[in-house]
Amino acid sequence: MNFFARDVSAPGPDSRLPRGRTRAHLVLPLLLIAAITLSASFAPLAIHLSPLLVAAPTCTAAVARVRFTVAMALTASAAVVLIDWHDGLLHSPLLPIHIGALLAVSGSAVAARALHDRDLRELTQVRAVSEAAQRVLLRPIPHTLGSLRIASMYRAATAHALVGGDLYAAVRSGHATRFLIGDVRGKGLPAVEDASALLGAFREAAPEHETLPQLAASLERSVRRHLAEMSERDPDSAERFITALLIELPDAEETVRVVSCGHPPPLRRQRGGVTHLCVDRPAPPLGLAGSTAEAFPFDTFAFFPGDTLLLYTDGLAEARDATGTFYPVLERAATWTWCCPHSLLQHISHDLDSYAGQHLDDDLAMVAVQRPALHQRPTMKGQ
């Protein structure tokens, strides 16, 4: 299962509201008009309540579309005539003043609502383009690859953004599954460009190289070429780099191979508890490392049926609570629900919201990988 940033698809102004809300929006302004009209019939003739009817279209504009707001303005205008007729103002200059004031305020409310709807349509279009861009950049990882069960999640820190500098990918390579998770230094369009370059290089090179260090060296060369090309229009590109973690899970071995390029270590959950898989000699981030396989040592860890891996970017470890304390990943991991990758990522996301107050200072990408117990093995896919 794959999750993108929250509220990926916002309803446009023409989207239908839930039936209960639609009825409320219809009934409440009408009740307001009816209540003012009824009150006017019992009020002394010297007290004119018709100016209060301007509240109906004004309130309507805050929650309903333009056409409904116009309808409420016309209904309120009819009520003004009825109330002023009751007050004996039918031939008084106060009647056109009351109606003119209501229509003027209603016109302003309708114009504001029309501008709001236009901006909402534009925002919806931008979000749709952003979602499409993310689906191209971060292709959804299949629910299963080989015998593995997988879930992934991406949350952008910037409001209304769906793409950023964090990245993940997975490919089949022979009789193994390889994963990449990374974090580009920087934000904005340059970060998206760097992430796109690395993802493209990984998808192309992962099936071609026999070992994980060879793959890492190939990615380093690709990142350097990309940054060299960017230096022609961005002098700061020489200072950019990408932390990355490469994972390989062979089908026929109960092991996991890890190459770390300055990236936070993954978590492994086994029956004995949750531990970090820390490599002995991490390589520098991509863009700053060596260009040969020897520059990328790897470590091998046990990964048995029923075990689960969690790959994540520093948006998880560097989330802070109200006091500025970092999210204690290893400590909180003992409280997570590890029964399946999908439930795990949901649990982490909710736990992180509770800890950080639903505010992330950095993008967050996570991939959960589980080697099911033998009696839970899924049908082989993606080979």
Q: What SS3 state is found at 101?
A: helix
With beta carbons less than 8 A apart as the criterion, state whether 16 and 167 touch: no
Predicted local distance difference test score (pLDDT) of residue 37: 86
Look at residue 234 in the predicted model and tell me its pLDDT: 74
Query: Cβ(248)–Cβ(369) under 8 Å?
Result: no
The segments of the chain whose pLDDT lies below 70 read 1-26, 158-163, 187-189, 237, 358, 375-383
pLDDT at 8: 33
Burial of 45 (0-12, 13-18, 19+ CB in 10 A): exposed
pLDDT at site 87:
83
User: CA 267 from chain center: how many Å?
Assistant: 23
Please state the pTM of the whole predicted model.
0.70
Chain segment 86-125, per-residue pLDDT in tens? 888 888 888 888 888 888 888 888 888 888 888 888 888 8
pLDDT value for 21: 52
The model's pLDDT over 302-341, given as tens digits with 9 standing for 90+, comes to 999 999 999 999 999 999 988 889 999 999 999 998 999 9
pLDDT confidence of residue 3: 45
- Tokens of residue 350, six digits: 């909710």
Q: Decide: 216 and 294 in contact? Cβ < 8 Å.
A: no
CB atoms within 10 A of CB 90: 12
Query: What local confidence, expressed as pLDDT, does residue 148 receive?
Result: 96
Predicted pLDDT of residue 23? 61
